Structure 1
Amino acid sequence: MHKLKDIVRPTTLIVSSKLNEVIGLDLTIASETFQHTGSFKFRAAYNLALNVPNEEILTASSGNFGQALAYACRLVGKRCTVVMPDTSAQVKINAVRGFGATVDLIDTKTVGRNERVAELAAQMPHAYHASAYDDQFVIDGNSTLGYELAGREFDVVIVPVGGGGLISGIINGLNHNKDNAAVYGAEPLLGNDATRSFRAGRLIPNEIEPMTIADGARTISLGNLNWPIISKGVKDMLEVPDETIAAALRMYYDLANLKCEPTGAVSLGAVLENKELFEGKKICVVVSGGNVDAEVYAKLIIKPLLNTEVR
């Protein structure tokens, strides 16, 4: 059975001269869109599936972790059940099922993800309950991306934030390699629990699942395990309106020939909203994944890129 370091695909580093010229900054894209199952989540999922002793794994996911865990479980010969909101991208629902996992769709307006997982856990006493972000195996798996970014002399690394599993892993990976790059979290303004928590110095959850276009960041709260890492290791949290997330997604398409999902565009959106903060810096923007429904993607990119969207 393969170890994580032997099976994970190295992140794809892209420097787009067109994008950098339009923005006027020194930007490197670290894209996880070409990772197994199309997002960084495979790093976490495979590390977890490989190391837990249980033969069955239960999780909740809007899609990327679910399909990554489904694929990882198939690779290591374990069973997988994924609780998913019925608002998840259809491409992600189909992928989870395609990898052989059981999908349990819920209406999050009537039942919470955690509540449904608790119900299923009572029926599956031998299953391992895997959090998509609040699990040490997840954080350790994601730290491999931090290892890859370390030593490249980035002044700044900007990371999309949902539950916080990716950014906490990157922080640990950079720290382990004694890389002092400033790490910024970028999250949708409509689901800004991480920013509010960071400002207050304590976890403050969203009251309901935020309906941002960045479906991978529709989380209620950061995790208890990753919160101490984030609160100490993040330089700042940056909020990004959905309109700017869409503008960033179009810029990747138009200027870097890169398809990404809305959540993956949040880090570039943070740059567009805070250009003055990053002037003169060598910047790395992490694109967390590329799984998006074709119809949704078409609607987001069909609007022409306007100069007024570049701040």
Structure 2
Amino acid sequence: MNLPLSDIHAAADFLRGTLGSSPLIEVSRWRTASDASIVVKAECLLPTGSFKIRGATWRIATLTPDERARGVIAYSTGNHAQAVAKAAADAGLGATIVMSPDVPLAKIEATERWGARVVIAEPSSHARRALAESLAHTHGYTLIAPYDDRQVMAGQASIGVELLQQCSTNLPAAVFVPIGGGGLIAGVAAAIKQLAPQVAIVGVEPSLEDDARRSFRAGRLISTEAPSASIADAIKVQCLGNLTFPLIRRYVDDIVTVDEAQIAAASLRYFDEAKLVVEPGGAVALAAAFESRLAVPRGGRVAVLACGGNIVMERLASLKALAGLSG
């Protein structure tokens, strides 16, 4: 399994004209534990508030006429749901989205506002996928998988192409990438390692839901039985994909975990210090970068992906207690 640069560049060229680029932001006081500066790829500022709009838009753009006529279905904890709903609406297609009852209500309502029909499954990634596949079979819908799809991964890989172009005069020593099902990191890693193999790719997930780290260490897929209690709902996927895992093994240098207090603190620091709204699942990369002791040349930097910003202010404020902050 590979994701060739020809596929990645095709997606990146299309999406540049459709979505534009997400900005690169640097907060001067932010440093890693080894004193490298940190730059943020603010995917949270894209339409629907996350990187997921890339993969969804490109996947729908590549549908055959027959697939378009049948309408689309997706399963998601929220960000892929909104992305597919918007991309389908923009293309004039009907969309059904399978979600879970433990997903924040704001994400369900946002998905419905794009015109999609939401169907609720049991609260696990396995249940969401099984119901979506069953409905696709019954009604003939075209399934838009959230991560285990070559075109979706090619769309997410466009982030890596953009990042290298934006950092062309000072490439980051490492890029920290959140991990759920693996589509984001598989695509980004495939792009960056084929274009700039000296850049390290570090995956990040919650310590409460560390199936990707354990799979990476073991060299085989390891699944957790049920969702954890992590606040990082956007990346609570219990197993990496069959297509994403080989790319992760090939191109990713390491996978690390962060605890709940670190995740909450990073999300709040985005808001307080960078003036960005970043949900916990999108903030794990920054949390890991703050703790990183990766050796970086003097004057060097690392990059983090702020991959989602779909969180209501009440929930953001509630993170203060978990982060150990008062007020």
| Residues 76-124 of structure 1 deviation map (CA, whole Å, 9 limit, x = unaligned) | 1111111001111222111110000110122327981122223312321
Structure 1 residue corresponding to 2:265, chosen from 247, 264, 267: 247
Say if 2:123 is the partner of 1:108: yes
Superposition deviation, residue 179 in structure 1: 4.6
Q: Distance in 1 between matches of 2:198 and 2:119?
A: 42
User: How much has 1:293 moved relative to structure 2?
Assistant: 2.5
Q: Distance in 2 between matches of 1:225 and 1:210?
A: 23
Percent identity (aligned): 34
Query: Match of 2:145?
Result: 131
Q: CA deviation at 1:268?
A: 1.1
CA RMSD of aligned residues (A): 2.2
What is the identity, as a one-letter code, of the residue corresponding to 1:80? A
The one of 29, 52, 59 equivalent to 2:63 is 52
Q: 1:43 to 1:304 in 2, by over 3 A?
A: closer
Question: How far, CA to CA, are the matches of 2:239 and 2:292 in structure 1?
Answer: 27
Instruction: Say which SS state the counterpart of residue 29 (structure 2) adopts.
Output: helix
Within 2, Cα distance between the matches of 1:21 and 1:162?
A: 23
| Alpha-carbon distance, 1:38 to partner | 0.6
C-alpha contact (below 8 Å) 1:18/1:256 kept by paired residues = no
Deviation at 1:30, TM superposition (A): 0.8
Establish whether residue 76 from structure 1 lines up as the match of residue 91 from structure 2. yes
Aligned length: 303
TM-fit CA distance, 1:3: 3.6
Uncovered stretches (5+) of structure 2, i.e. residues with no partner: 1-12
Q: 1:88 to 1:222 in 2, by over 3 A?
A: same
Q: Which ranges in structure 1 are unaligned for 5 or more consecutive residues? A: 307-311
User: Match of 2:143, SS?
Assistant: strand
Cα shift at 1:171: 1.2
Deviation of the 1:128 alpha carbon: 1.1
- Relative to 1, partners in 2 of residues 1:64 and 1:21: Cα closer, same or farther, differing over 3 Å? closer
Return structure 1 stretches of 4+ with deviation > 6 angstroms.
Answer: 302-306
Alpha carbons of 1:271 and 1:3: their partners in 2 closer, same or farther (altered >3 Å)?
Answer: closer
Relative to structure 1, the CA distance from residue 260 to residue 23 in structure 2 (aligned partners, 3 Å threshold; closer, same or farther) is: farther
Say whether the 8 Å CA contact 2:56–2:144 is kept in structure 1: no
Moved more, 138-147 or 169-178: 169-178
Mapped pair 1:35 → 2:46: yes
* Contact 1:250–1:305 (Cα < 8 Å) also in 2: no
Checking the alignment, whether the CA contact within 8 Å between 2:213 and 2:255 is kept in structure 1 is yes
Quote the Cα distance in structure 2 between the aligned partners of 1:35 and 1:301. Answer: 26
1:206 to 224, 243, 252: 224
Tell me if structure 1 keeps the 8 A contact 2:34–2:295.
no
Counterpart of 2:277 in structure 1 is 259
In the superposition, the TM-score normalised over structure 2's length comes to 0.87
Q: Distance in 2 between matches of 1:298 and 1:268?
A: 18
